[in-house]
Chains A and B, each alone.
Chain A
């Protein structure tokens, strides 16, 4: 579904990862691991198309990617339902009812998002992924501030998504109990390029 070849990414004009390569088929999940600052978020943002890769290529349908960042992206003055409807309309989906029940948000549907707890907001923002109707989920630390039950809820949503032929790439430190391949990013840490003053760049 998505294939990455020899990808190099940079954060703030400094290369952080290089020669990253993997291939993800439908129904598979990829879990990124690595210490803080290794470039997990940068890699995910590059995959989502928010920043251009330094080199290498990403083969796959960009239109099938849904991205969920650290930040929840919720409008606090709108209700839970309105928040979801907004994204549903943006992505052209028709129904939000199954998503509300999958993330146990039915009871909260008319509450303004601003009155939710951090975990509830997180659930809402993950529910947003489902209304996009896209097949590849890119998740950046999805389980932050979720309680055990909500993590289970989230894990089962991912499993359901995978078994429906979707795929997921996530950066997380928690074992979700999802069968996914692990990809440790530490070996891909960008090495120092050789000093070359003639290459047209500045190094």
Chain B
């Protein structure tokens, strides 16, 4: 029994069909529970007031924005090395989810930043690197869309993902360095984890776990859709061949 068995599209579909409904349920309960707990049953922060509660969306989304890219990187590597179609499709399926997560993190960050820092946006390292990540996602998705042949697209996007990861890390260091160098930066980047007290932390963990599961559900679901799309394309190609 090896994990590579799930690289077979049929096996993959059969398994995900079975585990998706309970996963949906658990992630929904965790997110809803975490959010309700966080929004209504935690005290206001003494400094930030009730605005702190956006943390329950912001942090999990940011977590998944990065992990989605990481998952795409792993899936791309698997495609490059072992050439399992499901892996390439999973990477493709994860990208839009990742880009939405990045967008949620950026927008909730802006909404949070406005009352706290007095500005919607600052070129703080953390913010900047998320913006760069967003651009990488856009490029990756655009490349998938631009190429007709699915295998070619999988190859090219995988290599783009690998090269992009290196440059994304470099960018992260670059913007870090940049802010230490010239601006007073640190006053803006208040470290979220440090001053989170336990009362806030438990619902946050629930939300984070919920987002992780939710991401998993979406990716599995979308991968299934991609598999069916590929199958449909293959069937259409068959039909054309038998007509010709």
Residues of A within 8 A of B (CB): 12-14, 37, 190, 192, 197-198, 200-203
Verify if B126 is at the interface (C-beta below 8 Å from A). Answer: no
- Give complex CA distance A58, B241 in Å: 26
The interface residues of chain A lying within 8 Å CB-to-CB of B234 are: 201-203
- Give complex CA distance A12, B9 in Å: 21
Q: Of the 9-residue stretches B21-29, B147-155, B174-182, which lies at the interface with chain A?
A: B147-155
Report 6 cross-chain contacts, Cβ distance below 8 Å, ordered by A residue: A14-B241, A192-B238, A200-B9, A202-B231, A203-B235, A203-B238
Task: Knowing A190-B241, A192-B238, A202-B231, say if A13 contacts B149 (CB, 8 Å).
Answer: yes
Task: Knowing A192-B238, A192-B241, A202-B227, say if A197 contacts B10 (CB, 8 Å).
Answer: yes
| Most chain A CB atoms below 10 A, which of B148, B234, B235 | B234
Which applies to chain B's interface (DSSP): helix, strand, loop or mixed? helix
- Give min CB distance, B87 to chain A, whole Å: 12
On whether the beta carbons of B151 and A202 are closer than 8 Å, the reply is: no
Verify if B7 is at the interface (C-beta below 8 Å from A). Answer: yes
- Give complex CA distance A200, B230 in Å: 13
The interface residues of chain B lying within 8 Å CB-to-CB of A203 are: 231, 234-235, 238
On whether the beta carbons of B150 and A13 are closer than 8 Å, the reply is: yes
On whether the beta carbons of B9 and A202 are closer than 8 Å, the reply is: yes
The interface residues of chain B lying within 8 Å CB-to-CB of A190 are: 241
The interface residues of chain A lying within 8 Å CB-to-CB of B240 are: 14
Task: Knowing A190-B241, A192-B242, say if A201 contacts B148 (CB, 8 Å).
Answer: no
The interface residues of chain B lying within 8 Å CB-to-CB of A14 are: 237, 240-241
A12, A192, A197, A198: which contacts B148 (Cβ < 8 A)?
Answer: A12
The interface residues of chain A lying within 8 Å CB-to-CB of B10 are: 197-198
On whether the beta carbons of B241 and A202 are closer than 8 Å, the reply is: no
On whether the beta carbons of A13 and B241 are closer than 8 Å, the reply is: no
On whether the beta carbons of A200 and B150 are closer than 8 Å, the reply is: no
Q: 1/0 per residue B137-157: CB within 8 Å of A?
A: 000000000001111000000
The interface residues of chain A lying within 8 Å CB-to-CB of B148 are: 12
Closest to A11 in B: B149
- Give min CB distance, A182 to chain B, whole Å: 23
- Give complex CA distance A202, B230 in Å: 7
